Structure 1
């Protein structure tokens, strides 16, 4: 009975010690075995691992690709047109030993603060280069700039044991105080373009109206000329017919012309004419006019 009383606590201590010396490394993480703050072992493969109980401790680090959103900063490209840039990066812990030595007990938060400073510095350096304009940053060429930021940040991040996988510019906007001025300038440019288009349209309309007016005048002139020609030809033909009729029967022609003169002169109900009694105008109205048979 006494032996059982002594052996049971010893067995419990032994089991607890054995269990505390075993730890599991997940496939999504890496682990460091520390002894009084010094690195004694690196566990990068998943599975069971061992440590000395009470003396050694295990520090775990995420082995997955992590995301980091940088602070919004202002950059000034070569055309002096300030832009507000918001970026994010994807990174992973490549060397846990160097990572531990670089950030110490600060861990991932301290590493992200330092990586954010590195990214902001590289963003300002790359986007503020001599040959980089705001149009370049806003165009499809920004992919080249992002790759350049990633490569330069990768060099500095190696000292932290980090591997920068990718860098992307999320937003690239104008500062709030410049938006109104930019919109006003864009509005003025559009109004000027609209005024130019209206002026060109009015000029084209004037040309069309002038051409139409000239066409109308030319058409009327040609029509009037053709009408005068036709009228002259008709008068000539009429005169020829009358001359032919006069030559065939002068007496009838004289009578016809007198009837036309009477019709034109004696129109209306109150026409008055003052003539001498022996005027030839009324020869065909007098009863005493001799006829051809009487002659």
Structure 2
């Protein structure tokens, strides 16, 4: 009797334990009966179900990440680009999510990925590469998120929180051609700059030489003018001196001539004794 009672108590405890389950913060639950959804419990706390007949399934309500492999798209100019992106999503309707994916996160990702890729393809096909690289990326991701969120909420019970493009790259074969073109453009620009610089240098040098010639001509003109004024002033002084004392002036001029003739100490003059040049060397002339 005691053994039977113990078995009954044990079964009662097992059935009681099987009839209870806990939903934690960040989780939601479904109660299934023979594979059919009976109810969805999303409030955290202790919940009850029929033991053995009903089963509970717990789902993570936190934000999840879909990190896809890079995908190739074509821009409006028919340029090929590789796009690496990721998606942030969470379960919004646990019942719809279960019906669409049977609760599998992998299946949810596999069904969400084509929605995002199709939306991205449409956006890239309608824009140029320059628009996508500069200001257009934010508009693209926002439009893709809105479009994908509308489709996934209806069909998968998923809210798409965010879509981000990590990078946009040109394929290797396109990158090489773009690099060659950019190199040719930069080389052409460098040649143009060198040619312009050389022309400017020639112009500056010619202008400098012209200015040097002008400065030299002006200096020679001013020097000639100064020399002329000096010679005129000297002639005037000589004339005044001659008028005041012709004999002294003649003597001074003779001394200057002697100095110029013998200043190197090697000069030889062949003159007659009564030459006028030796007038002041002649004692008789000096006595006169």
TM range (shorter): 0.7 to 0.9
Q: Which residue of structure 2 lines up, in the alignment, with residue 113 of structure 1?
A: 110
The CA deviation at 1:206 is 3.3
Distance 1:251 1:280 in 2: 14
Alpha carbons 1:103, 1:111 under 8 Å: kept: yes
CA distance in 2, matches of 1:257, 1:184: 87
Aligned with 1:67 (options 53, 65, 68): 65
1:76 aligns with 2:71: no
Aligned to 1:237: 233
Contact 2:280 2:286 in 1 (8 A): no
Aligned-partner Cα distance in 1 for 2:48–2:284 = 166
Cα distance change, pair 279–270 in 1 and its aligned pair in 2 (3 A): closer
Q: Distance in 1 between matches of 2:13 and 2:149?
A: 47
Give the corresponding residue for 2:46: 48
Aligned with residue 209 of structure 2, among 210, 213, 217 = 213
Gapped regions of structure 2 (runs ≥ 5): none
Once residues 182 and 143 of structure 1 are traced to their aligned partners in structure 2, the CA distance between those partners, rounded to angstroms, is 25
RMSD: 2.5
Deviations 1:22-70, CA, capped at 9 Å, x for gaps = 2222222111111221111111222222222222222222111111112
Q: Which moved more, 1:169-178 or 1:224-233?
A: 169-178
SS at match of 2:231: helix
Conserved 8 A contact 2:33-2:53 = yes
SS of residue matched to 2:102:
helix
Corresponding residue for residue 142 of structure 2: 147
> Secondary structure of 1:89's match?
strand
- Contact 1:26–1:46 (8 Å) recurs in 2: yes
Q: TM-score, normalised by structure 1?
A: 0.85
- 1:290 Cα deviation after fit: 8.6
> What is the Cα deviation at residue 82 of structure 1?
2.5
Give secondary structure in 2 for the equivalent of 1:80.
Answer: coil
For 2:89 and 2:261, the matched residues in 1 are separated by 118
Hey, what does 2:170 align to over in structure 1? 174
Q: Is the 1:67–1:88 Cα contact (8 Å) retained in structure 2?
A: yes
Which residue matches 2:179?
A: 183
Larger deviation: 24-33 or 242-251? Answer: 242-251
Alignment of 1:1-295 (within 5 A): 3-104=1-102, 107-129=104-126, 132-158=127-153, 159-265=155-261, 268-269=265-266, 271-273=268-270, 280-286=276-282, 289=285, 292=288
Deviation of the 1:102 alpha carbon? 1.6
Q: Is the 8 A contact 2:84 2:165 kept in 1?
A: yes
Q: In structure 2, do the counterparts of structure 1 residues 288 and 14 end up closer, same or farther at CA, with 3 Å as the change threshold?
A: closer
Report the TM-score when normalising by structure 2.
0.87
Task: Quote the Cα distance in structure 2 between the aligned partners of 1:11 and 1:291.
Answer: 174
Runs of 4+, deviation exceeding 6 Å: none
Structure 1 residues 4 and 260: alpha-carbon distance in aligned structure 2, compared to 1, 3 A threshold = closer
Q: Which runs of 5+ in 1 are unaligned?
A: none
2:78 aligned counterpart, secondary structure: coil
